[in-house]
């Protein structure tokens, strides 16, 4: 019995050894059948015969303030002050504050943004609604101012006398206004997301209109005077204008002069984007040089304004 058990154990050990050998041989065969791993060559990014094209810059990389734009302006202008001369085109300098009024215009420009810093150029045209008036009264200084008028005494007899003014009274009116103005400026500023804080500096020209009206309808001219000569007791004659053949009143005359006045401008403003639209508010200081400064010796004047604008970026 013991011998039988030992024989069975030996048989089991033999079968286990054969099984381990067979498994080892199977693994070896499988390894031999697997092909070696290959490394693919990198694929060329450029295909022959296909033209190279630039990849578009992502929209997020472009500043919202970059490029061309146009805007409509509106605000309030505070008329010239600081005029050193006593008059300005015949107007008292204190009256120039009446030029303060509304102002509208249009603007167009182009911006370039580099690392958050904005550099641009802008041109604008505007017109103003303010004007100032000055009146003058010329009292009658004519002589003679009434009839009869003795123009010769003791001389020879006269039968005629030239036309003359019985009255030279007149009323004058002057109106000063700004017709149109325009300037070209450089802009520089800092962008923060959709906000822009900027300054502007440049020069321009504006047209100043002076309208003059002289009303001389109150003046009277004696036409074809009627002369009476009366002999004197001792010698000679007394020659007297006793009447007018006709009386002629004066007329109303009007004239317009337009002057080009140069100026320098500087200002500060804030601008905000709303998609392609934008809004801004700014304040400006203008240094005006009157066109008659060289002749009259008057100094420059300055003006200020506050403007708002809405615009569109292309």
The token duo for 288 is: 């005006």
Query: How many Cα atoms occupy the beta-carbon half-sphere of 198 within 13 Å?
Result: 28
To which residue do tokens 């003046």 refer? 219
Q: What is the pLDDT of residue 53?
A: 59
The token duo for 277 is: 């639209």
Q: Which residues of 287-298 are buried (b: 16+ CB within 10 A; e: fewer)?
A: ebebeebeeeeb
Q: What is the pLDDT of residue 252?
A: 95
Which of 57, 59, 196 lies closest to 118 in space, CA to CA?
A: 196
Dist. CA 88–CA 290, nearest whole Å: 8
Dist. CA 114–CA 220, nearest whole Å: 74
Q: In Å, what is the CA distance from 65 to each residue of 56, 188, 189, 194?
A: 19, 12, 11, 8
Per-residue pLDDT tens digits of the chain, which is 314 residues long: 667 777 777 776 887 778 788 777 777 766 666 555 554 555 555 555 555 555 555 544 567 899 999 999 999 988 765 444 344 545 544 445 557 789 999 999 999 999 999 999 999 999 988 887 778 888 888 888 899 999 998 889 999 999 999 999 999 888 888 889 999 999 999 999 999 999 999 999 988 888 889 999 999 999 999 999 999 988 899 999 999 999 999 999 999 988 888 999 999 999 999 999 999 999 999 988 766 543 344 456 788 999 999 999 99
The token duo for 175 is: 């109106």
- For the chain, percent helix, then strand, then coil, each to nearest 5? 15, 60, 30
């Amino acid at each position: 019995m013991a011998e039988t058990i030992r024989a069975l154990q030996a048989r089991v050990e033999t079968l286990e050894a054969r099984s381990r050998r067979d498994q080892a041989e199977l693994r070896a065969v499988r390894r031999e059948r697997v092909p070696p791993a290959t490394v693919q060559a990198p694929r060329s990014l450029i295909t022959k015969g296909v033209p190279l094209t630039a990849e578009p810059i992502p929209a997020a990389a472009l500043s919202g303030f970059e490029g061309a734009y146009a805007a409509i302006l509106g605000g309030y202008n505070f008329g010239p002050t600081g005029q050193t001369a006593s008059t300005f085109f015949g107007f008292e300098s204190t009256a120039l504050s009446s030029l303060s009024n509304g102002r509208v215009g249009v603007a167009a420009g182009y911006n370039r943004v580099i690392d958050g810093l904005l550099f641009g150029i802008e041109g604008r045209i505007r017109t103003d609604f303010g004007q100032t008036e000055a009146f003058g009264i010329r009292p009658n200084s004519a002589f003679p101012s009434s009839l009869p008028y003795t123009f010769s005494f003791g001389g020879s007899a006269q039968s005629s006398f030239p036309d003359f003014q019985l009255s030279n009274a007149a009323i004058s009116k002057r109106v000063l206004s700004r017709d149109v103005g325009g300037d070209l400026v450089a802009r520089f500023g800092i962008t923060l997301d959709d906000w822009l804080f900027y300054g502007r500096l440049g020069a321009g020209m504006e047209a100043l209109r002076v309208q003059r009206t002289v009303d001389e309808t109150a003046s009277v001219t004696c036409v074809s005077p009627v002369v009476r000569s009366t002999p004197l007791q001792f010698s000679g004659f007394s020659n007297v204008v006793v009447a007018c053949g006709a009386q002629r009143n004066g007329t109303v005359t009007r004239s317009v002069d337009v002057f080009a006045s140069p100026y320098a401008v500087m200002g500060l403003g804030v601008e905000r984007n709303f998609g392609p639209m934008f809004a801004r508010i700014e304040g400006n200081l203008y240094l005006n040089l009157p066109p008659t400064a060289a002749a009259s010796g008057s100094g420059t004047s300055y003006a200020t304004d506050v403007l708002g604008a809405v615009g569109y970026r292309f």
